[in-house]
Amino acid sequence: MDKPSLKSRIKKILSALVSDPVELSVLLVDDRTIAELNSQYLNRRRPTNVLSFPMREGPFSEDQPEILGDVVISVETASREAEDSGITVGERLDFLLIHGILHLFGYDHEEDESEARIMEEKTEELMTLLRSEAPLPSS
């Protein structure tokens, strides 16, 4: 996925979630890099597909509420998962991008089954938006 396409997709996702301007960073990395981050921050010694680092949590979260945080995606893992699922790498990256961004907004799927359903529904809604040729919602 090239940079202009990635930026366009991020804008579409954010426009559907919030009307105020916000900032986030998205890093596309290899398995080694994401495994190091996974180990350092979650004490899991293996690569994963996506990590989110929200800035809206903790003692200084109100200082700059427009900064959402960071999303890190392993392109290597995404590629393997796409092949295993019979979808394109672009489709898998879209899903992981949405998943990571939703975590920055406080969505969760690990603690509560009803929250997991809500996150799943929002993910499908945003995947449909990205699949459509509709223009960005006006700000």
Q: Is the pLDDT of residue 134 over 60?
A: no
CB-based burial, 94-104: b 16+ in 10 Å, e otherwise? bbbbbbbbbbb
pLDDT (0 to 100) of residue 138: 47
Is 79 buried (19+), middle (13-18) or exposed (0-12) by CB count in 10 A? middle
The two three-digit tokens of residue 100, written as one number? 């990571």
Q: Where are the beta strands (DSSP E) in the chain?
A: 23-29, 50-54, 67-74
Span 73-121, pLDDT tens digits: 999 999 999 999 999 999 999 999 999 999 999 998 877 888 899 999 9
70 or 19, higher pLDDT: 70
Name the residue ranges covered by the structural domains of the chain: 3-131
Superfamily of 3-131 according to CATH: Metalloproteases ("zincins"), catalytic domain (3.40.390.30)
Q: Is the pLDDT of residue 62 over 80?
A: no
Span 12-58, pLDDT tens digits: 999 999 988 899 999 999 999 999 999 999 999 999 999 999 986 65
